[in-house]
Amino acid sequence: MAVHTAARDRAPDDVITATALVKTYRQGTTEIRALDEVSVGIRRARFTAVVGPSGSGKSTLMHCVAGLDTVTSGSIVLDGTEITGLSDRQLTRVRRERIGFVFQSFNLLPQLTAYENIVLPVTMTGGRPDRELVDHLCEVLGIAHRVSHRPSELSGGQQQRVAVVRALVARPAVVFADEPTGNLDSRAGAEVLTMLRRSVDDLGQTVVMVTHDPAAARYADRVLTLADGRVVKDEHAAPSGRATALATDVTGRRR
């Protein structure tokens, strides 16, 4: 029996409410159920990690709630907007205005400087970047002295920090991080995770991270574990930061 966190009755401080999500696709003559009646609420100003083995549905869940993929059935409310059923154009606008992304591959444009990459999402929509915020974030993330450099002149960890600042600078409702440390060594990965953690603690940002790394998941306030397209465990961090105190097992009982 899967753990279904209460999402049908939307909590006031949920930035995302997903209810009874089903995602199926065909592989030859076989129907694959990538998500199987998943319901979950994501709280504002919290760091949520989504973990699980390959094929568990963790990336599918993130892609669907971020508006990158559609569900077969179910409901997704993101920052007060029901996104299931929106057109591609409407989804693009939601992603542009309310979501920040940090990918494993950094996704920086090589011909632009770090600063130009950071402000690109804002300038593309005709907005003016908040230079004070950009400078503050770059200082906090330790790349203020590197913003005039192009990606090829930066280390992998520095490139990912640029990507984190880019995700934060538009003040999105939520930042989705897809295996953000996958291309980094352990030290650089820890630095990026610490920065994501600080964005939650110091800036009130909401972060949802997909990871296969248990060590990375320890930076989160909450860890959702998926298996076979279902949430099988929902752990909330204790005051000490260890995600054990409110763990639920697959039967839904408190341990």
Q: How many domains does the chain have?
A: 1
Structural domain contains residue 254? no
Structural domain contains residue 157? yes
pLDDT at 11 over 90: no
Least confident of 26-30, 109-113, 218-222: 26-30
pLDDT at 250 over 80: no
Q: Domain range spanning residue 222?
A: 44-67+88-236
pLDDT in tens, 216-233: 999 999 999 999 999 999
Q: Residue 16: what residue type?
A: I
Structural domain contains residue 121? yes
Contact 89, 164 (CB under 8 A): no
Predicted pLDDT of residue 129: 87
pLDDT in tens, 166-194: 999 988 999 999 999 988 999 989 989 99
Model pTM? Answer: 0.86
CATH number for the domain harbouring residue 203? 3.40.50.300
Structural domain contains residue 215? yes
- SS percent in the chain: helix, strand, coil, step 5: 30, 25, 40
Predicted pLDDT of residue 124: 84
Structural domain contains residue 122? yes
Q: What is the mean pLDDT of the chain?
A: 87
Structural domain contains residue 38? no
Predicted pLDDT of residue 10: 54
Predicted pLDDT of residue 242: 40
Task: Give the C-alpha separation, 76 to 248, whole Å.
Answer: 23
pLDDT tier at 12, thresholds 50, 70, 90? low
Task: Give the C-alpha separation, 58 to 143, whole Å.
Answer: 31
Structural domain contains residue 134? yes
The mean pLDDT of 146-159, rounded to a whole number, is: 94
Task: Give the C-alpha separation, 237 to 220, whole Å.
Answer: 7
H or E element that contains 159: helix 156-168
Residues 6+ apart with CB under 8 A from 36: 2, 22, 57, 228, 229, 230
Predicted pLDDT of residue 13: 86
Structural domain contains residue 11? no
Alpha carbon separation from 105 to 5, 102, 159, 179, 184 (Å, rounded): 31, 9, 9, 9, 10
